[in-house]
Amino acid sequence: MARKALQIKDAIDGYIVRCQSKGFSHRTIEWYDQKLRFFCAYMLDQQGTRDLKSVTLMHLRAFVIAIQAMKSRTKENVSEITVKGYVQVIKGFFSWCVSEDLLKIDPSVKLERPKIGEYVISTFTEDQIKALLNTCDLRTELGYRDYTIMMLLLDTGVRVSELCGMRLQDIHKDYVRVLGKGRKEREVGVHSDTVKCVWKYVHKFRDTSDENEQLLFINRAGEPLTRSGVARLISEAGDKAGLSDVRVSPHTFRHTFAIMYLKNGGDVYKLSRLLGHSDIKTTEEYLKSFQSREARRDHDHLSPVNRVRKVVRDRTLRSDALFD
């Protein structure tokens, strides 16, 4: 009796189990699962196949084109980074299928990774940071909590997921302990003013529904604050501050920390460790953005227009002298 052909969805189930067994974070597994389930639905709805061995390179390229044509919540095409993420997940999945002898040939080997354009990273100015902090009412529980969160994000550059995962015992007098991607732990220095904010929040304003709760930041219901909760409170602060020319999000604080660290003379390799990057190339994107800003800083002084203005000014003076 012939063995039933392995379906794409069943192979995806096996791949997700593999990710769980390797200790991938819940968020990473969720990210993989969402993209692979979307691919599975596309193959059935648009290509009329559910069998793993039926997938070809042409199918994968058609899928990438379909992703590129998708619209985001803002009605714009999805970003290059989103498309690259889908390709990365697809290639990883099919590579695993070959390693597990589910396929003899990997159809994704020649699937091209889309090129990502180089853009200047968006950051807050000092005035924008002050405007955000000034929206917090330091007399209230939520106001002081929000102020402390923004100070900690600015001072350490941690990811929002790392912030939400901070426990009381992770706060020390001159550093915080952070559990990052891949369950890699690191220590990040923290300014004494920020530590004072955390201390006051914990001892005066932090109110939990469970006295044994160890997570640092708590929502209005007394439960641990979530990533979406942090994003929402920062977005609301941006609205109150009237900020419209910059993306107001937790990750912009991370970008701002990185650029200011470099501006103040910090080393890119130390910055890479502080940010928890596994690849220095990721950190170097901040360096490129910083160098771009520095290159334009003295533009007025160095611009060739200065020479042109001098010539025009001299000619004007000589012309005026004829009429004196």
Specify the residue for token string 């009796």. Answer: 1
**Catalytic option among 145, 206, 255, 277:** 277
- What is the CATH superfamily name and number for domain 126-297? Intergrase catalytic core (1.10.443.10)
181, 191, 200, 227: the catalytic one is 181
- Tell me how far the alpha carbon of residue 101 is from its chain's centroid: 35
Our answer to whether residue 159 is catalytic in this structure is: yes
Q: Which of 15, 254, 255, 261 is catalytic?
A: 254
Is 181 catalytic? The answer is yes
Decide if 186 is catalytic: no
- Rounded (10°) CA dihedral 252, 257, 261, 262: -10
Residue 254 among the catalytic residues: yes
Choosing from 159, 201, 206, 255, which is the catalytic residue? 159
Residue (of 255, 265, 165, 267) closest to 217 by Cα position: 165
Per-residue pLDDT of the chain (324 residues), as tens digits, is 456 789 999 999 999 999 999 888 888 899 999 999 999 999 999 999 999 999 999 999 999 999 998 876 655 778 888 899 999 999 999 999 999 999 999 999 999 988 776 666 788 999 999 999 999 999 999 999 999 999 999 999 999 999 999 999 999 999 999 988 878 889 999 999 999 999 999 999 999 989 899 999 999 999 999 999 999 999 999 999 999 889 899 999 999 998 888 888 888 889 888 998 888 887 887 777 666 665 555 555 555 665 565 555 555 545 555 445
Helices (H), the chain: 8-21, 26-47, 57-68, 80-99, 126-133, 141-156, 160-164, 192-200, 227-241, 250-263, 268-275, 280-297, 299-302, 305-321
- Please tell me which residue in 18, 37, 251, 293 is annotated as part of the active site: 251
Other beta carbons less than 10 A from residue 19's beta carbon: 19
Here the tokens at position 227 are: 């990533």
Which helix (H) or strand (E) element contains residue 185? strand 185-189
Take residue 8 and report the two structure tokens written for it.
């794409």
Out of 15, 86, 201, 286, pick the active-site residue.
Answer: 286
Q: What is the pTM of this model?
A: 0.70
240 is catalytic: no
Token digits of residue 219 = 């929502």
Active site residue 277: yes
Q: Measured between alpha carbons, how far is 282 from 121 in angstroms, rounded to an integer?
A: 12
